[in-house]
A = this chain, B = another copy of it.
Amino acid sequence: MSSSTTTPSRGAETLLKRYQRVRGFSRRLAEPLSPEDMQLQSMPDASPTKWHLAHTTWFFETFLLAPNLPGWTPPNPQFVYLYNSYYNAVGPQYSRPDRGKISRPSAAEVLDYRRAVDEGMQRLLESLGEERASEVRPLVQLGLNHEQQHQELILTDIKHALSFNPLFPAYREKEVQPAAPAHSSTWVDFEEAVVEIGHRGEGFCFDNELPRHRVLLLPFQLSSRLVSSGEYLEFIQDGGYQRPELWLSEGWATCLEQRWKAPLYWRRSEEGWQQFTLGGLRPVEPAEPVVHVSYFEADAYARWAGGRLATEFEWEHAAASLPVEGNFAESERLHSAPASAGGLTQLFGDAWEWTSSSYGPYPRYRPAPGAVGEYNGKFMCNQYVLRGGSCATSRDHVRASYRNFFPAPARWQFSGIRLARS
């Protein structure tokens, strides 16, 4: 009892290092931003950077420090209300669309809050014996994966917010090397099989990836790479946004109502098509995978191209044996990159791939008990599954069984298209 509280156990030490690395990446993402940038909220679905930084910290305070660290005193008791996002079981929440109306606490105060919680977490993780460590480890892992999700949102939300500025400011200036031409795509064959779907093994996963279960797949083919911007331009030039027969009924209504003419952030100028990126305004590069398309656009494109979207099961089966490698947030390109040649490429990174699967529970699915059980299950309606991560996702956050989900009209994520066919 004496030494176990002072000598950090090996498991806790590793967890602490991971904690510090992941948490540090959030701060790094905020570095290019001014206090004013960090307060921007451009739509109800997006949140200010400052809010992301505080909310992820609130998670560790609420679920780890408050119940587990003796003597922990909340540095800012009001933050419980301000930075609870949707956990009904924890209490009421500040109105989501009004998050951009909070100027105080300032960004500096939020960073102080992060430091205080990080110190508390260090104390907690260093003080745990092996037994307690294995008890809290799952929640810390959940908190870190939660933080990584918000890291991606920091990028997609600030991109959306800055896009309203007619000066087209860059999130950060960065040289992007000229894109190589896109390789031709080929079809990769898959045989009929009963396959196992869902997370397997020891590592972390979200509850929606479980239970692992068997699914019967009929024969199918997947394209060897993502649809490129050049291919998508052909769709536009062939009247893709003017032909209702290519679209789902609700998609066509959305297209008309939102006056979609191209992917989000594309604009036609005198010099041709341009796109707003995290590095400012740049030409549309034909070889780069198209990003920022909705499910409706992905579905319409696939119909136009004579294919379809894959189911999430087909996708997972194809990805299960591949290494998790690709163009992720760590590269700091923060934009999709042309596919390299050969084989089945770009399954991980570059762009989240819309699947035709409506987001629902796996057989015998049970949400985690307690407040963290609100994480996934209650959103299993009217959303579509995306797979594989994007150029704004951390590489160690994603895996073959990972299920992302967004409503069909959503376009502000780095979402793209891969063709399938039967």
Contacts and interface: CB of A to CB of B under 8 A. Distances in A.
A37 B249 contact: no
A403 to B, nearest CB: 14
Interface stretch (A96-104, A112-120, A176-184): A96-104
Given A167-B78, A248-B378, A378-B248, A34 B104 contact: yes
Identical subunits present? 4
Nearest to A299: B381
Interface in A61-93: 78, 81-82, 86, 88-89
Nearest to A95: B164
Nearest to A34: B106
B166 A81 contact: yes
Interface stretch (A139-147, A223-231, A355-363, A391-399): A355-363
A62 B172 CA distance: 32
B36 A103 contact: yes
A94 B167 CA distance: 11
A422 interface: yes
Interface residues of A, number: 63
Given A34-B106, A215-B216, A381-B408, 18 more contacts: A34-B104, A36-B38, A36-B39, A36-B103, A36-B104, A39-B103, A78-B167, A88-B245, A98-B164, A105-B167, A213-B218, A214-B218, A248-B380, A249-B381, A250-B381, A295-B381, A308-B361, A358-B360
Interface of A: 34-40, 42, 78, 81-82, 86, 88-89, 94, 98, 100-107, 161-162, 164-167, 169, 194, 213-216, 218, 244-245, 247-252, 295-296, 299, 308, 356, 358, 360-361, 363-364, 374, 378-382, 408, 422
